[in-house]
Amino acid sequence: MFSNEEKDALYKVIATRRDVRSFKCDPVPPDAVHRILVAAHQAPSVGFMQPWNFILIDSDDLKHKLAWAADKERRALAIHYEEDKRASSFLQLKIEGIKEAPITICVTCDPTRGGAHVLGRNSIPETDMLSTACAIQNMWLASCVEGIAMGWVSFYKKADVRDILKIPPHIDPVALISLGYTDVYPKAPILETAKWEKRQSLQNLIYKNKWGELVE
More confident residue, 86 or 125: 125
Q: Regarding beta strands 149-153 and 172-180, do their DSSP bridges make them parallel or antiparallel, or are they unpaired?
A: antiparallel
User: Is the per-residue pLDDT at 120 higher than 80?
Assistant: no
> For position 85, what pLDDT does the model report?
67
- Read off the pLDDT of residues 78-93 as tens digits, 9 standing for 90 and up: 777 766 666 767 667 7
* Listed residue (140, 132, 130) closest to 177, CA to CA: 140
Domains of the chain in start order, with CATH, are 16-186 (3.40.109.10)
Residue 181 reports pLDDT greater than 70: yes
Q: Lowest mean pLDDT: which of 2-16, 31-45, 113-127?
A: 113-127
In DSSP notation, 11-67 reads HHHHHH---------PPPPHHHHHHHHHHHHTS--GGG---EEEEEE--HHHHHHHH
Question: Helix, strand, coil % (nearest 5) of the chain?
Answer: 45, 15, 40
Average pLDDT over residues 144-164: 95
Please give the pLDDT value at position 193. 80
Q: What is the pLDDT of residue 92?
A: 74
